């Protein structure tokens, strides 16, 4: 069985954790291929809530080998805490394999992330302040430390000495901060984290290829989403990795020929956390209702998410960028009380109509969404188990999303629980 990719088709928090958990039933390996603990992926099992940051969401199943791929940036302290917390709840994390080529988030990354945001003032990006951007910047600048360096103290100290000299200069001269101690960092990383993580560090690429050769199911679990992608998102209000399908190949170490299925996941409306353009954003009562009904506060940072109507122009673009075969729509139940629903089918700006995402981002700021209005269903969908039991207007709404986005819908979510999902065939 070739690999499947699961990608957020909006700005994150679409329900990737829940769907990964669902798909994991038919898989043997679940790989996180980019991002770090900026992600917050929720799985709810029998009212018990698991919020995963670094561990692939398949970890909850004993038959799954969870893999942290080379494209991820790993804060070892956070990873150990996450493993300990899960173990305390009876989840066995011993099968985890961490790629030796994944990069380490270091204490100066986190500090610089927060300082840069403060320095940017009103122009800040609204990052999660987890050190993600600075860690990927060092990876690109070729001064990053990798997970495998934890197993070679000499190399680790050498690299740390070189890089810390520059970081401390920046901390002192630019930000008027005290420098960090190489001995303290090495003490924590080499003496505390390395022994704990050593049994999990290994050849993730080899493992994935062996699984593929055996015909085992491999799921590549995206973090963040298409419009937070460093290349294709609303730059600079993006994350520093490539969540798009191409990034899955790079971040897991497999070629595109191994991919047989690409699933995009989108909410039945839109949300975004942090700054950046958002053409269909709604404020006022409707926005408040979406926040309240959808519990739209960040899984990870607790920040209120911005909300808006479903933007088919963006999801249409996500279908293109990722070669999406299908869409999964989540949180349909959040719309249960709405009398009317809007779907953005195009933008208007400068006297022009845009049905595809404008290549120049300035257009997004002045874009006026062209909405189609659809009737709501005004009844509860949370107990629906079968497509035929969905209210007529809900089926029409989903049909319209599929038609406008250009991809069939294979599942719809009607609640946070593992079981609250309905298989569909909406084209
Ligand atoms: P992820 O980052 O894509 O994994 O998504 P998050 O876990 O950050 O955010 C999604 C939130 O919506 C979580 O609180 C989920 O429990 C919840 N959720 C997922 N699917 C559904 C759904 O179909 N309906 C409702 N009401 N909540 C859902
Ligand atoms: P999941 O995987 C939603 C956003 C941040 C900020 C921008 C850059 O749970 O969908 P970063 O810390 O990555 O440098 O922040 O990206 N962001 C997310 N928004 N869901 C996420 O992850 C996110 N990860 C990062 O809010 O706007
Ligand atoms: Mg999330």
Question: pLDDT at position 301, please?
Answer: 81
User: Residues enclosing ligand 2, CB less than 6 A?
Assistant: 8, 12-13, 38-41, 125-128, 130, 132-133, 223-225, 228, 237, 239-240, 273-274, 299
**Looking at ligand 1, which residue's alpha carbon is closest to its atom 11?**
15
Q: In 318-420, where do the E strands start and end?
A: 326-330, 340-349, 352-354, 368-375, 409-413
Atom of ligand 1 nearest to the CA of 223: 2
**Looking at ligand 1, which residue's alpha carbon is closest to its atom 2?**
13
Question: pLDDT at position 367, please?
Answer: 96
* Chain segment 96-123, per-residue pLDDT in tens: 999 999 999 999 999 999 999 999 999 9
Question: pLDDT at position 190, please?
Answer: 98
Q: pLDDT category, 378, cuts 50, 70, 90?
A: very high
* Chain segment 124-172, per-residue pLDDT in tens: 999 999 999 999 999 999 999 999 999 999 999 999 999 999 999 999 9
Annotate 291-326 with DSSP letters as a single string. HHHHT-B-TTT-PBPEEE-EEHHHHHHHHHHHT-SE
Q: pLDDT category, 23, cuts 50, 70, 90?
A: very high
**Looking at ligand 1, which residue's alpha carbon is closest to its atom 17?**
416
Question: pLDDT at position 173, please?
Answer: 96
Can 37 be counted among the known catalytic residues?
no
Can 41 be counted among the known catalytic residues?
yes
* Residue 413 CB–ligand 1 contact under 6 Å: yes
Q: pLDDT category, 357, cuts 50, 70, 90?
A: very high
* Residue 35 CB–ligand 1 contact under 6 Å: no
Average pLDDT of the residues of the chain: 96
* Chain segment 396-427, per-residue pLDDT in tens: 999 999 999 999 999 999 999 989 999 998 88
226 C-beta neighbours (distance < 10 Å), count: 30
- Alpha-carbon Rg for the chain, nearest whole angstrom, is 22
Say what the pTM is: 0.97
Question: Choosing from 37, 41, 103, 317, which is the catalytic residue?
Answer: 41
**Looking at ligand 2, which residue's alpha carbon is closest to its atom 6?**
127
Between 274 and 189, the higher pLDDT residue: 189
Question: pLDDT at position 411, please?
Answer: 97
Atom of ligand 2 nearest to the CA of 241: 13
* Residue 316 CB–ligand 1 contact under 6 Å: no
Q: In 85-242, where do the E strands start and end?
A: 97-99, 103-104, 201-202, 218-221
How far does residue 350's CA lie from ligand 3's centre (Å)? 35
Q: Which ligand lies nearest to the CA atom of residue 113 in the structure? A: 2
How far does residue 14's CA lie from ligand 3's centre (Å)? 7
The CA-to-CA distance between both ends of the chain, in Å, stands at 25
* Chain segment 50-73, per-residue pLDDT in tens: 999 999 999 999 999 999 999 999
Contact 36, 54 (CB under 8 A): yes
Atom of ligand 1 nearest to the CA of 49: 16
400 C-beta neighbours (distance < 10 Å), count: 18
Contact 336, 414 (CB under 8 A): no
Question: pLDDT at position 298, please?
Answer: 85
* Chain segment 245-274, per-residue pLDDT in tens: 999 999 999 999 999 999 999 999 999 998
**Looking at ligand 2, which residue's alpha carbon is closest to its atom 16?**
239
pLDDT at 300 over 90: no
Spell out which residues have Cβ within 5 A of ligand 3, the ion: 13, 40, 299
How far does residue 129's CA lie from ligand 3's centre (Å)? 15
């Amino acid at each position: 069985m070739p690999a499947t990719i699961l990608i957020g088709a909006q700005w994150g928090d679409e329900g990737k954790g829940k769907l990964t958990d669902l798909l994991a039933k038919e898989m043997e390996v679940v790989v996180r291929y980019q991002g770090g603990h900026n992600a917050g992926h929720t799985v709810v099992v029998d009212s018990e809530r698991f919020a995963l940051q670094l561990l692939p969401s398949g970890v909850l199943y004993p038959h799954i080998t969870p893999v942290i791929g080379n494209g991820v940036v790993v804060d070892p302290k956070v990873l150990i805490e996450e493993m300990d917390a899960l173990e305390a709840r009876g989840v066995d994390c011993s099968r985890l394999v961490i790629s030796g080529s994944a990069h380490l988030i270091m204490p100066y990354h986190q500090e610089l992330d927060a300082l840069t945001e403060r320095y940017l003032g009103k122009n800040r990006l609204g990052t999660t302040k987890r050190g993600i951007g600075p860690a990927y910047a060092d990876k690109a600048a070729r001064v990053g430390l990798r997970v495998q360096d934890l197993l070679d103290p000499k190399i680790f100290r050498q690299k740390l000495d070189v890089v810390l000299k520059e970081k401390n200069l920046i901390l002192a001269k630019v930000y008027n901060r005290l420098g960090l101690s190489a001995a303290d960092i090495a003490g924590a990383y080499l003496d505390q984290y390395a022994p704990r993580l050593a049994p999990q560090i290994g050849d993730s690429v080899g493992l994935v290829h062996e699984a593929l050769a055996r015909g085992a199911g491999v799921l590549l679990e995206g973090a963040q989403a298409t419009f937070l992608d460093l290349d294709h998102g609303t730059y600079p209000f993006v994350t520093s990795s490539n969540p798009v399908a191409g990034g899955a190949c790079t971040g897991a170490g497999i070629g595109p020929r191994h991919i047989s299925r690409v699933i995009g996941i989108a909410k039945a409306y839109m949300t975004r956390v942090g700054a950046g353009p958002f053409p269909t954003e709604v404020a006022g009562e409707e926005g408040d209702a979406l926040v309240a009904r959808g519990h739209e506060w960040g899984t990870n940072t607790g920040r209120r998410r911005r909300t808006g109507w479903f933007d088919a122009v963006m999801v249409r673009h996500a279908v293109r960028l990722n070669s999406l075969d299908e869409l999964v729509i989540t949180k349909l139940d959040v719309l249960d009380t709405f009398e009317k629903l809007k779907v953005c089918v195009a933008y208007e700006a400068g006297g022009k109509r845009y049905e595809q995402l404008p290549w120049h981002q300035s257009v997004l700021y002045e874009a006026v969404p062209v909405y189609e209005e659809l009737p709501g269903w005004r009844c509860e969908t949370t107990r629906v188990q079968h497509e035929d039991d969905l209210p007529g207007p809900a089926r029409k709404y989903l049909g319209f999303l599929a038609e406008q986005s250009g991809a069939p819908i294979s599942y719809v979510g009607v609640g946070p629980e593992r079981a609250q999902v309905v298989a569909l065939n909406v084209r």
